[in-house]
Amino acid sequence: MPEPRRPVLLAVDDDDHVLRAIRRDLSRAYRDRFRVLAAGSAAEGLRVLDTLREREEQAALVLSDQRMPGMTGIAFLAEAARRFPEARRVLLTAYADTSVAISAINEVRLDHYLVKPWEPPEERLYPVLDDLLSDWEGAHEPPYQGIRLVGHPFAPATHRLRDLLTRYRLPFRFEEGPAGEARLPAVVLPDGRRLDRPGHGEVVAALGLATRLSHPHYDLAIVGGGPAGLAASVYASSEGMATLLIEAYVPGGQAGTSSRIENYLGFPSGISGVDLTSRAMAQARRFGVDVLAPVEARRLSRDGRACVLHLSDGKEIGASTVLLSTGLSYRSLDADGAARFEGAGIYYGAAVTETESCAGRHVWIVGGANSAGQAALHFARHASRVTMVVRAAGLAGAMSAYLVDEIAAAPNITVRAGTRVVAAEGGEHLERITLCDVATGELSGHDAEHVFVFIGARPRTEWLDGLVRRDPHGFLLTGPDLGPAAELPAWDLPRPPLLLETSMPGVFAAGDARAGSVKRLASGVGEGAMAVSMIHRYRSES
């Protein structure tokens, strides 16, 4: 990340000799705290100030010579005050102009005047400027110098950028932009650059998070950066394999959206999904894993024994083996009008991202499995009320017992069992939902601005249709589930597929997208590790 710009000291004089001298003396004393700029005319000085204002930088002090062609120093300082009212203003004068400078103290709120020459600066320059700059620093509230996200609170594009920055653990401040502004959402970087309506790849590249490929050919290419993919990348790279991890969004998968994971081995106090996956990413990078994100795998082909992945950015990646750990996508809420409010009041697995906007509000959670329970407990610490809408008769059937107990003990969580959401209404954002009692069919309307949906998921495997075998629900079949090897059209090895090997030799699957997998974080990590041992066996046979 570029270092934020320091406040500016601007010196303006049409005499090159004087300008060089004042710039030299200012730099010698203040360059550690301020950025010193110089302009050879009043017009140039105004252009500098306009540029600083456009970049949302700060001018702390403006020094100007009085006698300049086109505009006097007093007139220039008056213009400077309109642009930066808080900046301290100093006039550089000859002895004959001191009466003019004294008058200007009252007329244009001049802070001080200096008679040229100011030698020695330790006696005649620095004491004056030290006091002025100390006053400015004492009265000035430094602007926020981190990443700023400017947008509309309920705009889907704003929500997606907020989620991206949150998942990358990048501190940022959200600012509501003016209604109707076509350039929003915008990301403003600490160095002043502004990205209007940026794509995720553009943001990642601008923040210096993009990775360059370090190998022309990889031993293992992993598609999907959830727990299974991250675990496989760590084990493979630590054992000397050239490893590439390809992730369509942000490494972490659905686990990365979890507000709190309390049943993962080794974390007795629990850990957030963002923290856990961030640690895994740091571990993978330490072992030399290359990471491409956000980039989608669009097609898989063969070149002899090698696999070729065709990516959304136009790259083609060659690898000896491929691990498919593409994970799952949340299922959409099947309710009238719901699609219109995705990212504008209805969210899928975005519990952490929208925490701030839900403080003190009524939050609705749709779903009754672990992800829904974790989200409900997370929001209960911030929202005034949390209501869980569960189609089943209760929570016990699909949710871990510890979550059921904690939800029952939370005073501001209500569970509406045997209920489903059937409609969503509103203007630019969600305002109301309609609930239906599953048993009686009775309908009831409720005000709702924040609805989080956790109602199951489907595997991200559509792009593999016709390439590797999937079950009727789209999950990847592996090992014995593929049936006899002789009936697999692409199978040309004398042995049957290994336990986690798909119908294409050298292509493996692990994690939630694999048919028959246990949909838990620990099992995904375990399958990622297991896959690496089978990949070693495959490579030893080739």
Beta strand spans in 181-235 (E): 186-188, 194-196, 218-223
Query: What backbone torsions phi and psi does residue 97 show, to the nearest 5 degrees?
Result: -100, 10
- H or E segment at 451? strand 450-453
Instruction: Output the pLDDT for position 95.
Output: 65
Q: What is the pLDDT of residue 349?
A: 78
End-to-end Cα, the chain, rounded Å: 44
Task: Please choose, from the candidates 250, 29, 376, 465, the residue with its C-alpha nearest in 3D space to the C-alpha of residue 473.
Answer: 465
Instruction: Name the residue with tokens 């994690």.
Output: 511
Q: What is the pTM of this model?
A: 0.74
- pLDDT tens digit sequence for 172-219: 999 999 888 889 999 999 888 999 999 999 999 999 888 889 999 999
Instruction: Domains for the chain: give ranges and CATH numbers.
Output: 8-139 (3.40.50.2300), 148-206 (3.40.30.10), 218-329+458-541 (3.50.50.60), 338-455 (3.50.50.60)
Q: Specify the pLDDT at position 135.
A: 87
Please give the structure tokens belonging to residue 134: 């100390």
Judge whether 498 and 534 are in contact, CB under 8 Å.
Answer: yes
- 524 vs 14: CA distance, rounded Å: 69
Q: How many CB atoms are located within 10 Å of the residue 536 CB? A: 17
State the residue for tokens 């050879």. 40
Burial 164-187, CB ≥16 within 10 A → b, else e: bbbbbeeebebeebeeeeeebbbb
Under-70 pLDDT residues of the chain: 1-4, 95-98, 101, 104, 106-108, 142-143, 350-351
Is there a contact between 48 and 10 (Cβ–Cβ < 8 Å)? yes
Largest CA distance in the chain: 103
Spatial separation of the C-alpha atoms in residues 246 and 244, rounded to whole Å = 6
Q: What is the DSSP string of 62-90?
A: EEEES--TTS-HHHHHHHHHHH-TTSEEE
Amino acid identity, position 193: R
Q: Specify burial of residue 201 (Cβ count, 10 A radius: 0-12, 13-18, 19+).
A: middle
Per-residue pLDDT tens over the stretch 362-398: 999 999 999 899 999 999 999 999 999 999 999 998 8
Q: Which tokens in the block code for residue 503?
A: 């119908």
Q: Are 482 and 488 in contact (CB under 8 A)?
A: yes
Distance (Å, whole) CA 497 – CA 499: 7
If you ran DSSP here, which 8-state letter would residue 203 be given?
H
Helices in 198-338 by DSSP H: which ranges? Answer: 200-206, 227-238, 273-286
